[in-house]
């Protein structure tokens, strides 16, 4: 399969998704907990904290959701913890994203597969961005890619996913679309979460950042970084309208990172259906629509079996891309 084809498949993977409704359940978690599989400041951390706060605001949970940051292995440490030690916890959900599907697709969680957990629901999709420090002489994506092409050693790109993970793949997709034939020459440095990756950018340790809009927004607002490309089909609305797309700069690179949750594989059906119902109610609320608008999240409404099928298809598509660029055989 041509890389362009798989790129378009990935970009379209979340389009046309229809809502899956489930009736409200009697079960309510006594000690709701969300594991963010990275350090504070990244997309998984954002997902846990924003969803936890909104669930409480909507009175869908009776107490504050505890957020536990469990970084390591591009989400692998958290995945193994849930599968091996928390497999029957009814009060636990774990933040997940395209990065999770990417690591599963590449066999990067040793001994773990997607069917060992229960896939709960999505809460939106987060478009990828490529950014540089605010004081960087680089102002456009073609300028960055030209420098990568002429002097690969001069540019290191930081991301919050592991090598070969979704943040890494976004840069490779852009480079491939720009005509860099051997994308393996691109220097990518992995950190445990987007927040840590941006910190390294600001420290001057790297020259560019690859992540998602929700990760970058706070650093843009503080004047620390500038977004040189959003990997969306067209410019986003509102306060994101100033960010140029890769496409308008002549680079056909699109990448959307879904955000959602999985739960322990042996969670009871009652608890699982309740979590699915709560996330569906959250997604439909005006409060969550406000969170999405404020953070540049695109619509993506999948729950239960429909979400599980979506993850399965995503894993298969990412395997195709990973084989094409030599990350897996």
Q: Which CATH superfamily is domain 127-249 in?
A: Periplasmic binding protein-like II (3.40.190.10)
Between the alpha carbon of residue 231 and those of residues 7, 154, 159, 273, 305, the distances in Å are 11, 23, 15, 34, 28
* CA nearest neighbour of 253 among 186, 177, 140, 146: 177
Residue numbers in the chain where pLDDT is lower than 50: 1-24
Between the alpha carbon of residue 265 and those of residues 82, 85, 114, the distances in Å are 8, 11, 10
pLDDT of residue 8: 41
Which pTM does this prediction carry? Answer: 0.78
Q: Which CATH superfamily is domain 3-126+256-324 in?
A: Bordetella uptake gene, domain 1 (3.40.190.150)
pLDDT of residue 25: 56
* CA nearest neighbour of 168 among 223, 205, 130, 206: 130
Identical fold at 3-126+256-324 and 127-249?
yes
Farthest-apart Cα atoms in the chain, separation = 61
Query: For 267, phi and psi rounded to 5 degrees?
Result: -55, 140
Q: What DSSP state is assigned to residue 211?
A: E
Which residues does 221 contact at the CB level (< 8 Å), separation at least 6? Answer: none
pLDDT of residue 13: 45
Torsion of CA 261, 267, 272, 274, to 10 degrees: -110
Tokens coding 166: 């979704």
pLDDT of residue 23: 44
pLDDT of residue 161: 86
Tokens coding 244: 């140029």
pLDDT of residue 76: 95
Task: Note whether 283 and 297 are within 8 A (CB).
Answer: no
Domain residues of the chain, as ranges? 3-126+256-324, 127-249
Task: Note whether 228 and 131 are within 8 A (CB).
Answer: yes
Which residues are 157's β-sheet partners?
188, 208
Task: Note whether 69 and 33 are within 8 A (CB).
Answer: no
pLDDT digits (tens, 9 = 90+) for 102-122: 999 999 999 999 999 999 999
């Amino acid at each position: 399969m041509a890389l362009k084809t798989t790129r378009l498949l990935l970009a379209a993977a979340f389009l046309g998704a229809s809502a899956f409704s489930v009736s409200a359940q009697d079960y309510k978690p006594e000690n709701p907990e969300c594991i963010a599989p990275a350090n504070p400041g990244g997309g998984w951390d954002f997902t846990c904290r924003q969803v936890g706060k909104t669930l409480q605001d909507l009175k869908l949970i009776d107490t504050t959701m505890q957020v536990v940051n469990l970084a390591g292995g591009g989400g692998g440490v958290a995945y193994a913890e849930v599968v091996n030690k928390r497999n029957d916890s009814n009060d636990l959900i774990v933040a997940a994203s395209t990065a999770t599907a990417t690591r599963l697709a590449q066999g990067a969680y040793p001994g773990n597969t997607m069917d060992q957990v229960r896939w709960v629901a999505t809460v939106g999709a987060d478009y990828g961005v490529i950014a540089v420090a605010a004081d960087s002489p680089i102002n456009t994506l073609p300028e960055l890619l030209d420098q990568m092409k002429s002097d690969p050693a001069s540019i290191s790109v930081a991301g919050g996913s592991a090598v070969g993970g979704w943040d890494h793949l976004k840069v490779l997709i852009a480079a491939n679309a720009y005509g860099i034939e051997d994308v393996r020459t691109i220097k990518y440095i992995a950190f445990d979460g987007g927040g840590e990756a941006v910190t390294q950018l600001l420290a001057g340790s790297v020259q560019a950042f690859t992540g998602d809009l929700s990760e970058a927004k706070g650093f843009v607002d503080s004047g620390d970084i500038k977004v040189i490309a959003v990997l969306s089909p067209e410019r986003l609305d509102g306060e994101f309208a100033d960010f140029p797309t890769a496409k308008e700069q002549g680079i056909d690179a699109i990448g959307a990172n879904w955000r959602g949750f999985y739960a322990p594989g042996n969670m009871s059906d009652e608890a699982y259906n309740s979590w699915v119902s709560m996330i569906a109610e959250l997604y439909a609320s005006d409060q969550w629509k406000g969170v999405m608008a404020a953070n540049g999240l695109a619509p993506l409404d999948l729950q239960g079996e429909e979400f599980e099928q979506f993850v399965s298809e995503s894993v298969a598509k990412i395997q195709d891309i990973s084989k094409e660029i030599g990350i897996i055989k």
